[in-house]
DNA sequence: GCTTCGAAGTTTAGAGTTGAAGTCTTCAGG
DNA sequence: CCTGAAGACTTCAACTCTAAACTTCGAAGC
């Protein structure tokens, strides 16, 4: 299963200078560019690294399920859509932040893998309806269970109060950037 | 300039059900799967969405410079590496978290665009050395300046104390996931 | 009813990445 | 020396995504 952007094998990882640590990177920024607020830099860099690590973790989990992160995202969108658990390719593309063309191919794969179904709408034959199969729903649930374990582990060092503060601050940041960027914004590895 | 995973054009974005808001998504999770801690869910989802938005913003900035996020990352790695500002393709691949093959192609492009140079090491002719050009360094600096403006805007709602708390908590999370995941971890949209 | 416009999906060409295989260089033995 | 193994980079085929052209169907407008 070629696993989208989540495989970690095949990379150069023998000896030599690896990726600099967060501290090293902040120091290097200070060295090369005066006038950079280290506090801001720390928040932004940590955010970005954290996200990368989380996606690696999710990638390992979905690989274990025999699917890719990309496919799990489709399943998630269908489940979270609610009751009939069916959406058109266009809707899916919008929710996942990719082009309709990409959606077409993704659905092709997932249909052959038995994760979703594709049928034409009888009342409007231009429309296509994608539905989740039982197997698809099971995979989604398995993935979610693994994710919650990982997430609880990730946050284990934070007290309940800290978790609340963190969530509140992140939500505030998100609100700020969403109003500056009203459009849905392009793809780029979510999985939330 | 086809801009890696950062273009926002061409996506389906007309009417209809767009991406659910963070609140809607958390509610949907609660509905479909009992036993999910909403506090954890909020942190994780906000983190992920925030990162996506940030990458969209960075993508717009680098597009304005006539390069891609991917290329800017290579420039960043070279600058942050310090004094001779030169690294081998293998090192670069490790630092950016992609395969050597991808690095080869990326360097190809960047050489023809005049952003970096590629020469063979005289003392060990298996080795290749990639260096940054003056134009490359200028682009990096321009990108960094734009990024700092955006980042300051992003954090404008947080007091100095809050920024410190946020950075500290994120660093703690990062430390936790890094020790659980000692390898550098695969690609997946950084840019920090 | 026929035509035109728009919306929804699919198809096609090209960019970028991965994983595996291949090339070339260096180094350690025999 | 010559050989074999390991390392560094490149090449190749397959895959996924984007952007743009294309196809089809439905809704108006005349």
For domain A68-179, say whether CATH 1.10.10.10 is its number.
yes
CB burial of residue B152 (10 Å; 0-12, 13-18, 19+): exposed
Please report, rounded to a whole number, the percentage of residues in chain A having pLDDT higher than 70.
85
Domain boundaries, chain A: 68-179
Of A36, A55, A152, the CB nearest to B188: A55
Give all strands (DSSP E) within A71-153, no chain letters: 86-87, 116-120, 128-132
Q: Nearest nucleotide by C1' from B125 CA? A: C25
- Rounded-to-5 percentages of helix, strand, coil across chain B: 60, 5, 35
Q: Give strand D nucleotides closer than 7 A to any protein Cβ.
A: 7-13, 15-21, 24-27
Of B5, B12, B51, the CB nearest to A93: B12
CATH, range B20-178: 1.10.10.10
B58-111 pLDDT per residue, tens? 999 999 999 999 999 999 999 999 989 999 999 999 999 899 999 999 999 999
Cβ within 8 Å of residue B135, ≥6 positions away: B114, B115
Query: Would you place residue B138 in the very low, low, confident or very high pLDDT band (cuts 50, 70, 90)?
Result: very high
B105 CA to C9 C1' in angstroms comes to 33
Nearest-CA residue of chain B relative to A30?
Answer: B80
- For residues A103 and A93, give the distance between their C-alpha atoms in angstroms, rounded to a whole number: 6
| Number of neighbouring beta carbons within 10 Å of residue B24 | 12
Does residue A130 contact residue A88 with C-beta atoms inside 8 Å? yes
A123 CA to C27 C1' in angstroms comes to 73
A66-99 pLDDT per residue, tens? 999 999 999 999 999 988 999 999 999 999 989 9
Which residue intervals of B1-127 are DSSP H helices? 22-32, 38-65, 69-80, 89-96, 100-112
As given in the structure block, the two tokens for residue B172 are 């703690």
């Amino acid at each position: 299963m070629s696993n989208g952007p989540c495989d970690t094998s095949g990379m150069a990882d023998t000896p030599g200078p690896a990726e600099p640590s967060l501290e090293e990177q902040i120091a290097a920024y200070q060295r090369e560019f005066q006038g950079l607020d280290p506090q801001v830099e720390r928040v932004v860099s940590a955010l970005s690294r954290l996200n990368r690590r989380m996606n690696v973790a999710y990638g390992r989990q979905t690989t274990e399920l025999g699917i890719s992160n990309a496919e799990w995202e489709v399943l998630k969108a269908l489940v979270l859509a609610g009751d009939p658990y069916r959406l058109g390719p266009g809707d899916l593309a919008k929710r996942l932040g990719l082009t309709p063309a990409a959606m077409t191919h993704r659905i092709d794969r997932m249909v052959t893998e038995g994760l979703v179904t594709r049928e034409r709408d009888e009342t409007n034959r231009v429309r296509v309806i994608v539905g989740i199969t039982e197997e698809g729903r099971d995979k989604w649930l398995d993935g979610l269970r693994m994710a919650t374990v990982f997430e609880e582990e990730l946050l284990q060092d934070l007290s309940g109060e800290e978790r609340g503060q963190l969530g509140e601050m992140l939500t505030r940041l998100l609100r700020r950037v969403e109003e500056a960027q009203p459009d849905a914004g392009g793809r780029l590895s979510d999985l939330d």
